[in-house]
Amino acid sequence: MKAILFDQPGGAEVLYYGSAPDPTPNTDEVLVRVHTTALNRADLLQRAGGYNPPPGASPILGLELAGEVITPLGDFQSGDRVMAVVTGGAYAELAAVPVGMLMRIPDALTYEQAAAIPEAFLTAHLNLFTLGHLKAGETVLIHAGASGVGTAAIQLARAVGAQVIATAGSPEKLARCVELGAHEAINYKTESFRERVQQITGGRGADVILDFVGAPYWNDNLASLAVGGRLMLIGFLGGAAGQMNLGAILPKSLTISGTTLRRTPLDQKIALTQEFAAFGLPKIANGELVPVIDRTFPVEQAADAHRYMASNANVGKIILTVR
């Protein structure tokens, strides 16, 4: 099969389109012909040598895919249109996927739209609901609201009746966050989100915060949380080390949680997939939830797609078409 490969870590220029061995599915896996995949920040980190795949995972980049079943298993037949999160291997023509991770693509969606769903919506669902216990009437602060996970999280939080505050770095991104359901949008480049959250909530703070930035936001995040608040760390784009004040954690009874979907045990990922499929897929099918796509590149232009993601210009997902 053909795939995007690299022989040593480096910049986007190390990526090339070449030949790789076909994957051999295990007894609980389905072979999928990949039509589309999508970029994630983890792809850029892995390419640069900073995020090695888990043991046993494909060394090929790509954490989500949409395509069609080749080898039938369980309820899935040859030709069925499916999408899934994978631990690697999606920048390729073929991928082996645990059958429990497969979700059927709603009939009205294209493969491009489907590829924008798995990683973003499962990550958002995991952190908002499974770990963050967000409920109707609570307030959630979603950093990087215009990112793939951010655009999914805004919609999911709004769907359960939460008040949504999003941060982004441009008027265009802020406007898109509001279109997707954010009640308030804060420009982190020109405003203090710490002060604005206190204003918006009448001094109470947010019940849940989804943060991709890490250390630079630590103190302001803790100050922005309500009593009993939950901080969900899902990235360290701004770095993992710095001057951090832990003082608010005990008196405010805060919960700090960190997770990566890629390294979540398979049985837990299967349970998450089933939970999201039951809750989210009907809403995607009826248009209540929408996959947000910024740009689409042919897989052969993966290096250009990586450069584009690194520019932070995208609103929503960046898609690669494979076949």
Percent of the chain with pLDDT over 90: 89
101-129, pLDDT tens digit by residue?
999 999 999 999 999 999 999 999 999 99
122-175, pLDDT tens digit by residue?
999 999 999 999 999 999 999 999 999 999 999 999 999 999 999 999 999 999
Least confident of 52-66, 85-99, 239-253: 239-253
What is residue 251's predicted lDDT score, i.e. its pLDDT?
A: 86
Farthest CA pair distance, the chain? 58
Residue 258's H or E segment, with its range, is strand 255-258
Whether 72 shows a pLDDT value over 90: the answer reads: yes
Query: Can you give the C-alpha Rg of the chain in angstroms?
Result: 19
14-37, pLDDT tens digit by residue?
999 999 999 999 999 999 999 999
61: amino acid identity, one letter: L
The set of residues, in sequence order, having a beta carbon less than 8 Å from that of 260 and lying 6+ positions away, is 42, 234
DSSP-assigned states of every residue in 311-322: TT--SSEEEEE-
Region 75-93: what's the mean pLDDT? 98
Crossing angle for the helix pair 118-125 and 266-285, to the nearest 10 degrees: 110
What is residue 293's predicted lDDT score, i.e. its pLDDT?
A: 98
Whether 45 shows a pLDDT value over 70: the answer reads: yes
Region 292-316: what's the mean pLDDT? 97
Domains of the chain: residue spans and CATH: 2-120+262-321 (3.90.180.10), 132-258 (3.40.50.720)
What is residue 239's predicted lDDT score, i.e. its pLDDT?
A: 64
Is residue 33 within 8 Å of 93, Cβ to Cβ? yes
197-251, pLDDT tens digit by residue?
999 999 999 999 999 877 788 899 999 999 999 999 997 666 666 777 777 789 8
Of 33, 138, 44, 43, the C-alpha closest to 76 is 33
Torsion on CA atoms 223, 225, 231, 237, rounded to nearest 10? -50
What is residue 177's predicted lDDT score, i.e. its pLDDT?
A: 98
DSSP-assigned states of every residue in 49-77: TS-PPPTTS-SS--SEEEEEESS-BTTB-
Of 108, 310, 308, the C-alpha closest to 320 is 308
Region 68-91: what's the mean pLDDT? 97
Whether 296 shows a pLDDT value over 90: the answer reads: yes
What is residue 213's predicted lDDT score, i.e. its pLDDT?
A: 79
